[in-house]
A and B are shown apart, each in its own frame.
Chain A
């Protein structure tokens, strides 16, 4: 078989159903073989869209997303999407063409040192110089991408290797000397953790994206209910615990709920699971949970004690460890006084916004969207105020229903990610909550959606600004609005020019009907909501401040 045939055969055996990509000179042999294969190929309009679509597909389905680009500019265009997947630990395999192996290093046309460029933003990467290594490399790449702490793996394949011939040998098992993720927690540490949990009077569970990755949401719920501990989550953890449950505290951190931040600050025990104590969560680290012992469960040992000193580290898969903890915990100290205190905070500091009669408030749009879908939809977001409102005001009840760029904060993520999610879950409503700034970063993917009948909905919260930056300038730079006033095209005409559907809403009373109509249309829909231009996201913890020192705005 040729290298190209081997690659496609390997992808099939890895269960790949769809590839997002863009052709070019150095991947022609691959595209030629793709023509005969039954793997679905989605031609995006920019390689960044391919990487985000593969990412969104992966987040929605739990499978490994695959993207494909040519050498040089094709590969460099993928890098933002790869870095995005790396920061959020998303399993992805990125395949790039490379110039012929004898031209590597000669500054050949469309050559770039792609393994060099992507080294810091991949879990691992490969340059396949010998066709005999190809099948094994693909097998290793999928294994590495999807196990342990998942992440993107890149395979760079020179075009002559794609054309060479060799016998196809499928390696059933691959053994990588330096790669043995720890899946089960240390029994002694689990016993110790159980003892801490049993005695805690003011425990808080702090859950992250690791719960979703490991599929540990049932165990998490069982644990929270068994020990009667409130649960707060990170942006990446949204959906890991039903927001409608009475033990739920919502998101914590910079734009988290006041009650989650107070609970963390007053807690005597933090049970951190699959979360990495990002600075957006902890605020000033020396004031984070000052009176609490910390149990940290994570599959990545390097995440433990990186930002916050941990009392009981447990390395392993969250599902296994939570299962073992549940077995270990028989009875539990009474937490009813603690839950009462928290209830008091919930009543005193609820999430709120000042509604108005005429002007559309962005929070209102999202509330209405929740009311219409009742959590039975996949929401993707762009980055900025739209993202934070989507995190605060929609109630997520299931994992893999909130897809957002957490670690890297990539504007332009939501729309192509929605495309990928819809392909992975065609029966689900997939809705991108966007800002007028962010949507313009990958708006070209409208064509991909329409051509492939990818029926996603885009809710644009249009305020005429790069909203989050404007908010910071308002609060910390004396309203000197530098470089944030952004103009937009006529989104309705734009959508129509791509044969999608466009709608514009300027009055509050029309919001609900527009959303209802949007959900019924069997096509890609852009709804341009003209919202209050200077609305802010509250609560807000200024960067580097303690998380219980929130700006309330409306309090």
Chain B
């Protein structure tokens, strides 16, 4: 099961290495990780998605993260009402004549074409991971040349 955890950390060099090192040293896997500054530039925000069935491991991950000196607070979104989003950029094969068809598909999702050149559309999609997954299945019919995802970010409702 995937768990989304957000970690507020001091914005210092080496913090990311501390956090990722903690995961690797204990053999936990990170599914996705997104980092950015907060409104306060001395503090950064990390959204980490971990995949584990074991509640005890999840508990340890949170406790171990809390133990790091640079970590200020931790929020586990598993049992909290929250909004999650992920951004995807993809290059999709699309002949000129099929452009309308592609745009019609994208309309159903929070997605759009941001560039169209030489029968390739660069599309942008924002949504929950399930929605993104559904969109990608549909778009796959066109042929996806390249794909990049930010990983999940989350905020409490």
CB-contact partner of B63 in A120, A144, A301, under 8 A: A301
Interface flag for A176 (CB, 8 Å)? yes
B69 touches A302 (CB 8 A): no
Q: A178 with B25: in contact, given A124-B69, A302-B60 (CB under 8 Å)?
A: no
Q: Which residues of A contact B68 (CB under 8 A)?
A: 178
CB-contact partner of A178 in B9, B56, B59, under 8 A: B9
Question: 1/0 per position for B32-71, CB-CB distance to A under 8 A?
Answer: 0000000000000000000000001001100110111111
Q: Which residues of A contact B18 (CB under 8 A)?
A: 119
Chain B 1-43 residues near chain A, CB threshold 8 A: 9-10, 13-14, 17-18, 21, 25
User: Please, which residue of chain A has its CB at the minimum distance from the CB of B62?
Assistant: A302
B72 touches A178 (CB 8 A): yes
B39 to chain A, nearest CB (A): 15
CB-contact partner of A302 in B13, B21, B67, under 8 A: B67
A302 touches B72 (CB 8 A): no
A119 touches B10 (CB 8 A): no
Interface flag for A115 (CB, 8 Å)? yes
Tally of contacts, chain A with chain B, CB under 8 A: 39
B10 touches A306 (CB 8 A): no
Q: Which residues of B contact A302 (CB under 8 A)?
A: 60, 63-64, 66-67
Q: Which residues of B contact A124 (CB under 8 A)?
A: 69
**Alpha-carbon separation in the docked complex, A179 to B73 (Å):** 10
B17 touches A305 (CB 8 A): no
CB-contact partner of A300 in B21, B56, B59, B67, under 8 A: B67
Q: A176 with B69: in contact, given A119-B21, A120-B25, A305-B56 (CB under 8 Å)?
A: yes
Chain A 282-334 residues near chain B, CB threshold 8 A: 300-302, 304-306
A494 to chain B, nearest CB (A): 40
Interface flag for A177 (CB, 8 Å)? yes
Tell me how many residues of B have a C-beta within 8 Å of chain A.
21
B72 touches A177 (CB 8 A): yes
Interface flag for A358 (CB, 8 Å)? no
Q: Which residues of B contact A119 (CB under 8 A)?
A: 14, 17-18, 21
Q: Which residues of B contact A178 (CB under 8 A)?
A: 9-10, 68-73
A102 to chain B, nearest CB (A): 16
Q: A305 with B59: in contact, given A115-B14, A120-B25 (CB under 8 Å)?
A: yes
Tell me how many residues of A have a C-beta within 8 Å of chain B.
18
Interface flag for A123 (CB, 8 Å)? yes
User: Please, which residue of chain B has its CB at the minimum distance from the CB of A177?
Assistant: B72
B69 touches A179 (CB 8 A): yes
Q: Which residues of B contact A306 (CB under 8 A)?
A: 60
B69 touches A144 (CB 8 A): yes
Interface flag for A489 (CB, 8 Å)? no
Interface flag for A116 (CB, 8 Å)? yes
A131 to chain B, nearest CB (A): 17
B50 to chain A, nearest CB (A): 16
**Alpha-carbon separation in the docked complex, A123 to B18 (Å):** 11
Q: Which residues of B contact A123 (CB under 8 A)?
A: 69
A403 to chain B, nearest CB (A): 25
User: Please, which residue of chain A has its CB at the minimum distance from the CB of B63?
Assistant: A302
**Alpha-carbon separation in the docked complex, A537 to B141 (Å):** 69
**Alpha-carbon separation in the docked complex, A120 to B26 (Å):** 10
**Alpha-carbon separation in the docked complex, A53 to B11 (Å):** 35
Q: Which residues of A contact B10 (CB under 8 A)?
A: 177-178
User: Please, which residue of chain A has its CB at the minimum distance from the CB of B67?
Assistant: A302
User: Please, which residue of chain B has its CB at the minimum distance from the CB of A119?
Assistant: B21
**Alpha-carbon separation in the docked complex, A227 to B66 (Å):** 35
User: Please, which residue of chain B has its CB at the minimum distance from the CB of A125?
Assistant: B14
Q: Which residues of A contact B64 (CB under 8 A)?
A: 302
B17 touches A116 (CB 8 A): yes
**Alpha-carbon separation in the docked complex, A162 to B14 (Å):** 22
**Alpha-carbon separation in the docked complex, A216 to B2 (Å):** 42
Question: 1/0 per position for A171-183, CB-CB distance to B under 8 A?
Answer: 0000011110000
B31 to chain A, nearest CB (A): 22
Q: Which residues of A contact B25 (CB under 8 A)?
A: 120
User: Please, which residue of chain B has its CB at the minimum distance from the CB of A120?
Assistant: B25
Chain A 140-195 residues near chain B, CB threshold 8 A: 144, 176-179
**Alpha-carbon separation in the docked complex, A124 to B15 (Å):** 11
User: Please, which residue of chain A has its CB at the minimum distance from the CB of B8?
Assistant: A178
Q: Which residues of A contact B73 (CB under 8 A)?
A: 178
A301 touches B66 (CB 8 A): yes
**Alpha-carbon separation in the docked complex, A124 to B69 (Å):** 7
**Alpha-carbon separation in the docked complex, A116 to B17 (Å):** 8
A383 to chain B, nearest CB (A): 23
Q: Which residues of B contact A177 (CB under 8 A)?
A: 10, 72
A176 to chain B, nearest CB (A): 6
Q: Which residues of B contact A144 (CB under 8 A)?
A: 69
Q: Which residues of A contact B56 (CB under 8 A)?
A: 305
**Alpha-carbon separation in the docked complex, A116 to B25 (Å):** 13
User: Please, which residue of chain A has its CB at the minimum distance from the CB of B65?
Assistant: A302
B61 to chain A, nearest CB (A): 10
**Alpha-carbon separation in the docked complex, A115 to B64 (Å):** 19
Q: Which residues of B contact A120 (CB under 8 A)?
A: 21, 25
Q: Which residues of A contact B13 (CB under 8 A)?
A: 127
Can you give 12 A-B contacts (C-beta < 8 A)?
A119-B14, A119-B17, A120-B25, A144-B69, A176-B69, A177-B10, A178-B10, A178-B70, A178-B72, A301-B67, A304-B63, A305-B59
- List 5 tightest A-B contacts by C-beta distance, closest first: A302-B63, A178-B72, A124-B69, A178-B71, A177-B72
Given contacts A119-B14, A305-B56, 20 further A-B contacts (CB under 8 A): A115-B14, A116-B14, A119-B17, A119-B18, A120-B25, A127-B13, A144-B69, A177-B10, A177-B72, A178-B9, A178-B10, A178-B68, A178-B71, A178-B72, A301-B63, A301-B67, A302-B60, A302-B64, A302-B67, A304-B63
Please give the residue numbers on chain A whose beta carbons come within 8 Å of chain B beta carbons, in ascending order: 115-116, 119-120, 123-124, 127, 144, 176-179, 300-302, 304-306
